[in-house]
Structure 1
Amino acid sequence: MTGHLPERTRWAIVMAFAIAMGWVEAASVFYVRALVDRIEPYQADPLPMNGALGNVELWREAATLVMIATLGGLAGRTWRRRAGYAALAFGAWDIFYYVFLRLISGWPRTLMDWDILFLLPLPWWGPVLAPVSIALVMILWGTLATQSGDGTADARWAWALAGVGIGLALAVFMIDTWRALRDGRDAILQVLPTMFNWPVFWVALLLMASPALHQVAFLRTKKSVFRLPCCWRLP
């Protein structure tokens, strides 16, 4: 990406690209679900894919992650901003994927509808509200990381907490397919969860938000420090 572009322009370009990616993703998923008659994924035999189609889907998901990482690498001028733009793109892509899928197919009807969120390394299940909540956190952190300047510090403890949160969230999303793992591939493809562990998920989300919350607190403190001299009065 051209080096002289200001960060706000880069932010807008990345957002536009991510929104367009959301449409492409929604269209691709619509084609596949229409092909296997699973516009609504939460029903018996939710993943009726033969070997070829299943492998194509796995590689498509992997390619999407590569595209997002590449976009972040091109948009950012520092490692922190590259990660921020990648997070921004992922969050916007995920949210607009659901917006466009709703426009195309009428699904999801509500944020509480169950969806197959991802297939790598195992199928992830969860209500639509869960990935959308994570996407909002990613957009928040990505915006702060790319627009607040290079002087903002990221605390290691915040990222340690975020790592724990990511692990908890993955466990919540994949717990049912993990339990079916010992029964083989067919059992995994037939999994239909009946309960989502919201308490653990909200804890995980709060932990994942630690870097963004730390950044907000840092910026508020920095702003207060810069304003402090204006309040001084000479005796």
Structure 2
Amino acid sequence: MTMRRGLLNATAFAFAMANVETMIVVYLRRLYYPEGFQFPLVIIDTPTFLLELAREAATVVMLATFGIAAGRTKVGRFGYFMIGFGLWDIFYYVWLKLILNWPASLFTWDVLFLIPVPWLGPVIAPVSVACTLIGMGVVLLILEARGPVRPAGKAVWSAQVIAAAIIIYSFTIDVWPRLDADGTLLSQWVPVTYHWWMLIAGQLLAISTFVVWARKAHQAQMPGVSGI
């Protein structure tokens, strides 16, 4: 399968999967937010919340499975996973806009994820991360198409994990102190301030270390270059 065909498949898969995700969210909003989604959050019953956790976990598994099926090597599989994840996230908001005319802007706050706690932030934050994932994924596919790819070392992986942790923490830093047994604190809170510096720091760390590694991996593929 050519890279172009693979990218078309990834786009179609993410587009359709985002549609399914959006339909579920539309149903939930009609049940819990009949006047339209807004903060503070409505605390849903435990069985429904557990179903939502399972659905979100299954979504990640589906995206990973797509990557495994689409890629030829570990590099390609991870690349397709990143691309699929990024496109799915972007198309999700495209569908929400088409169906509900929401969000009002890219700076509208949303519930981004629920595992292990609710992630909250302006829509533009996850969209920017999605764009980064897509860009990195495309680079991985280009490297894979050119030949064997030099594996990333522990330092690169460590930097990526730290970057991801910083970004995730930017979405949850204000949630952790408001977790209580019955959700009272969350149900009374309207988020206003987002920790942009954490998002920027995480993105810069992820992109810079990835670019350095990708450059060395590309050099290693060139004839007569060892790629130290």
TM-score, normalized by the shorter chain, greater than 0.5: yes
Provide the residue aligned with 1:184 in structure 2: 181
Please tell me whether residue 144 in structure 1 is matched to residue 142 in structure 2: no
What's the CA shift for 1:177? 1.4
Q: 1:34 aligns with which of 25, 30, 33?
A: 30
Q: 2:124 aligns with which of 115, 126, 129?
A: 129
Give distance in 2, aligned partners of 1:158 and 1:105.
41
Contact 1:159 1:210 in 2 (8 A): no
Give distance in 2, aligned partners of 1:185 and 1:8.
49
Indicate the percent of aligned positions where both proteins have the same amino acid: 35
Q: 1:115 aligns with which of 110, 115, 124?
A: 110
SS at match of 1:176: coil
Q: How does 1:141-180 map to 2 (within 5 A)?
A: 141-149=136-144, 150-153=147-150, 154-180=152-178
What's the CA shift for 1:130? 0.5
SS at match of 1:94: helix
Give distance in 1, aligned partners of 2:35 and 2:77.
35
Q: 2:99 aligns with which of 98, 101, 104?
A: 104
Q: 2:208 aligns with which of 207, 210, 230?
A: 210
Q: CA 1:152–1:125 in structure 2 vs 1: closer, same or farther (change >3 Å)?
A: same
When structure 1 is superposed on structure 2, of 207-216 and 58-67 the one drifting more is 207-216
What's the CA shift for 1:170? 1.4
Q: CA RMSD in A?
A: 2.3
What's the CA shift for 1:122? 0.2
What's the CA shift for 1:220? 7.3
Contact 2:3 2:141 in 1 (8 A): yes
SS at match of 1:143: helix
- TM-score normalised by structure 1 residue count: 0.84
SS at match of 1:125: strand
In our comparison, the structure showing a higher alpha carbon Rg is: 1
SS at match of 2:12: helix
Aligned residue type for 2:44: M
Post-superposition CA distance 1:44-86 (Å, at most 9, x none): 3x13312222122111111101100110111111112111111
- TM-score normalised by structure 2 residue count: 0.87
Please tell me whether residue 53 in structure 1 is matched to residue 51 in structure 2: no
Please tell me whether residue 195 in structure 1 is matched to residue 190 in structure 2: no
Please tell me whether residue 91 in structure 1 is matched to residue 69 in structure 2: no
Contact 1:39 1:105 in 2 (8 A): no
Provide the residue aligned with 2:39 in structure 1: 43
What's the CA shift for 1:12? 1.5
